[in-house]
Amino acid sequence: MKKIRSDNLVDLVYQRIKEMILNGIIVSGDKINKIELSEQLGVSITPINEVINRLTGEKFIEKRGRKGYFVKESTLKDLTEFFTVRAGLEGMAIRLCIEDLPESELVEFEHFFMGYKLPLSQREMKNYIKEDQMFHEKIIKLCGNSIIIDFDQNFCFVMKSYQKGLVRPPEETLPEHQEIIKAIREKKSQKAQDLLIDHLLKSMHTLKSQYAGK
């Protein structure tokens, strides 16, 4: 692994460890090995400790008494709350995209979910999961609102929502994605906002039903 060398050491260590958690390199539920991380990243234990405390405050990591620090596992209740927050953030974000973006940037959304035909093969399913995440991240990225962008970057609601895979199958979500893109293409900001909020709240209700059944 490439070692970190920079004046902005703590920030870079923070980004690297957070990416390792979100990408599953450090698995949910695993204990954090500070010494191993310091060796992998080529830094002292001091920035590692600072970053662990920071990520604990952001709920990526949790302290279990004397056992140490562990990657926090997202419960069904956590995921339900992620989708609720996402509905508000992304709903506003997609409206801003349609109302403020020039055509040259807005057209980027048209490239998503092209060529998919149900039912999906196993390979198509893997690609679909990645594209699903990229689509929703693109909405946040292009909305132009720094507070919405920073909020998602700090708490990673979109990425955290995929920790247990897709909440609903492509048979349900693909037509919804295509309807949202159609509304974007037609520059119907209110309709796109309503469709996106409904899309995310359906996933929230699915998770809520699973949570209630536990």
Digit-coded pLDDT (tens) for 131-181: 999 999 999 999 999 999 999 888 888 888 887 788 999 999 999 999 999
Residues in the chain: 214
Q: Supply the range of the domain harboring residue 27.
A: 9-71
Given the structure tokens 């001091």, which residue do they identify? Answer: 46
Query: Would you state the structure tokens that stand for residue 22, as one six-digit string?
Result: 């979100």
Residue 7 has pLDDT above 70, yes or no: no
Q: Can you tell me the distance from the alpha carbon of 176 to that of 95, in angstroms, rounded to the nearest whole number?
A: 17
**Residue 195 forms part of a structural domain:** yes
**Residue 1 forms part of a structural domain:** no
Select from 71, 92, 120 the last residue of a domain. 71
pLDDT tens digits, one per residue of 97-127:
999 999 999 999 999 999 999 999 999 999 9
pLDDT at site 92: 97
Looking at per-residue confidence, does 8 or 172 come out higher? 172
pLDDT tens digits, one per residue of 37-81:
999 999 999 999 999 999 998 888 999 999 999 998 888 888 899
On whether both 186 and 164 belong to a single domain, the answer is yes
**Residue 4 forms part of a structural domain:** no
On whether both 115 and 135 belong to a single domain, the answer is yes
On whether both 63 and 165 belong to a single domain, the answer is no
**pLDDT tier at 187, thresholds 50, 70, 90:** very high
On whether both 110 and 197 belong to a single domain, the answer is yes
Select from 19, 36, 71 the last residue of a domain. 71
**What is the CA angle 143-149-154, rounded to 5?**
165
**What CATH number is given to the structural domain containing 62?**
1.10.10.10
Q: Can you tell me the distance from the alpha carbon of 31 to that of 26, in angstroms, rounded to the nearest whole number?
A: 9
41 to 29, 191, 208: CA distances (angstroms): 21, 46, 39
Dihedral sign (CA 163, 82, 213, 119): negative
For residues 199-209, give the mean pLDDT: 94
**CB neighbours of 177 closer than 8 A, spacing ≥ 6?**
112, 113, 132, 135, 199
Query: Would you state the structure tokens that stand for residue 172, as one six-digit string?
Result: 């349900």
- Number of domains comprising the chain: 2
pLDDT at site 2: 56
pLDDT at site 50: 94
**What CATH number is given to the structural domain containing 166?**
1.20.120.530
Q: Are 200 and 87 in contact (CB under 8 A)?
A: yes
DSSP state of 31: B
pLDDT at site 8: 83
**CB neighbours of 169 closer than 8 A, spacing ≥ 6?**
none
Name residue 63's beta-bridge partners.
69
Q: 94: closest CA among 115, 112, 79, 77? A: 112
pLDDT at site 6: 55
Query: Would you state the structure tokens that stand for residue 56, as one six-digit string?
Result: 């604990």
